[in-house]
Amino acid sequence: MTYRDVVSRQVLTWACTAVGARMPVAMAPLALVFLVRERPGGYSLGAIIAAAYVLGEIVGAPVLGMRLRPERARRQLAVGLGLGAAGFLGLGVFPGAHPVVLAGFACLAGAAPSAATGALRTLLGSLVPERSVAQALSVESILTAGVWALSPAAVAGLALGVAPRVPLLLAAGLMASSAGGLWLLPAGWGAGGTEGKDEAGGTGAPLLRVLVGAWPVYVTGAASLTLLGLSELVLPALLEQRGIGVGWSGPLLAGMAVGGGLGAFLYGLRGWPGLLRTRSLVLTAGTSACVTLAALIPSTPGIAVALVVGGTLQSGAMITRNLSLREVLPPGALAAGYSVMYAAAGAGYAATGSLAGALLQVTAPSTAILAGVGLTALLTVTGWWGEVRRAGRGAGAARVSAGADVAVADGGADGGTVADGGDRARPLGL
């Protein structure tokens, strides 16, 4: 297995479009804090506006993702990205507006383009041969890791070195450029059976029911992202507890992001043994162990190594989650499924942040991290158990179907007919 099939002009165009759509997402929370930090109650106000942005993402991703149609995806995505750019532009042009107005712009900037991540991932899968989908998802993870490593430095440099509004204006320009980049890509992706109907890929099942049936994958995906959120949100307080300069939090998190890119690259180099759900369990458990070590190790180099290795394992876990969705969802439901995963990850991130914030009021940062790791373990085991149950039901249904086929064949050989609604074969005259 190599990356040869992924190297093409179309994939390069896709990558440029994806960077334009995703870098504003990575920049937004920190940029919103810098935007209002000089106002009364600046940091608290920034956190509230950032929360409005995240809430827009969480609500918008599943709602808009379920409305995506393969045959007109380009038009739907362009509208969403355009409105998102307008939201960022409003924040940059009116930084002194009333907090309610700023929260409204932030919510629009988060909600309108929230289906783009899932749709672009689905589109990427259609640009490469089926045998190279894992490599394509690895490339996407490498790209995402790079975006998340670069964004904090870009926001801080522009906000402090030029003006607080500049990062948001840059985000607006990037998102507008990604909307234009869609016209250099295919208009959609192939998936039969969804033309204007609430059905998934021609299976005859309502889209909502199909998406809900994949809940274990969303739970384990959210579990993997909670560890990332835990590391980002509690690391400064942990460093302070250890007597380490808080300024090290930026380089340490950048190292974690670089580890994520390395892990994604290594995952795509070869095929890996075991079921996807087993790989996910092992990788998430390894990430949890690394975050636990980061909470307990007193030295900066030890924390750095733990976070880099944790980021390496975490990116592999997320790739297994995306591959699992491709297994359990029909093609017509993939974009919606990825959007629901995006929302679930955002909800997990927010839940971990809330838990950590509450615990930091009453306990040490290291203890707060360990409590978050415990929550992650609970989510991971729940999702794995759900996948095992789903696989067991699928195997049982396959055995019943095979038995019915044999019975039909036996009945036909005896000169019988199929009766009782096709569920049993009953020889004629019995």
User: Is the predicted pLDDT of residue 424 greater than 50, yes or no?
Assistant: no
CB 258 within 8 A of CB 305: no
Confidence of residue 284 (pLDDT cuts 50, 70, 90): very high
Structure tokens at 389: 């149950």
Confidence of residue 116 (pLDDT cuts 50, 70, 90): very high
- Give pLDDT, residue 313: 93
52 compared with 353, residue with greater pLDDT: 52
Confidence of residue 89 (pLDDT cuts 50, 70, 90): very high
Model pLDDT for residues 12-54, shown as the tens digit of each residue: 999 999 999 999 998 998 889 889 888 887 777 887 888 889 8
State the average pLDDT over residues 231-242.
Answer: 82
Model pLDDT for residues 334-346, shown as the tens digit of each residue: 888 998 988 888 8
Nearest to 243 by CA among 365, 368, 372: 365
Model pLDDT for residues 185-218, shown as the tens digit of each residue: 988 776 444 433 445 555 456 888 888 888 999 9
The answer to which of 188-192, 218-222, 391-395 has the lowest mean pLDDT is 188-192
Structure tokens at 178: 């990604």
Q: Which of 128-132, 155-159, 170-174 has the highest mean pLDDT?
A: 170-174
- Give pLDDT, residue 205: 61
CB 325 within 8 A of CB 201: no
Rounded to two decimals, the pTM is 0.79
Structure tokens at 294: 């980061």
- Give pLDDT, residue 410: 53
- Give pLDDT, residue 366: 87
Angle at 408 between CA 405 and CA 412, to 5 degrees: 140
- Give pLDDT, residue 221: 84
* Letter string b/e over residues 15-35, b meaning 16 or more CB atoms within 10 A of that residue's CB: bebbbbbbbbbbbbbbbbbbb
- Rounded distance between C-alpha atoms, residue 330 and residue 321, angstroms: 15
- Give pLDDT, residue 307: 92
User: Is the predicted pLDDT of residue 105 greater than 90, yes or no?
Assistant: yes
CB 171 within 8 A of CB 28: yes
Q: How many CA atoms lie within 13 A of 109 on its CB side?
A: 38
Structure tokens at 79: 């509208």
CB 46 within 8 A of CB 36: yes
- Crossing angle between the packed helical segments 166-181 and 133-161, to the nearest 10 degrees: 150
- Rounded distance between C-alpha atoms, residue 217 and residue 65, angstroms: 17
CB 96 within 8 A of CB 103: no
Residues 6 or more apart in contact with residue 67 via CB below 8 angstroms:
76, 115
Confidence of residue 396 (pLDDT cuts 50, 70, 90): low
- Give pLDDT, residue 417: 41
State the average pLDDT over residues 362-375.
Answer: 86
Q: Indicate the residue type of 229.
A: G
The answer to which of 170-174, 237-241, 298-302, 417-421 has the lowest mean pLDDT is 417-421
The sign of the CA dihedral 385, 390, 391, 395 is positive
- Give pLDDT, residue 16: 94
Nearest to 9 by CA among 319, 1, 134, 17: 17
Structure tokens at 286: 């390894």
User: Is the predicted pLDDT of residue 418 greater than 60, yes or no?
Assistant: no
- Give pLDDT, residue 399: 52
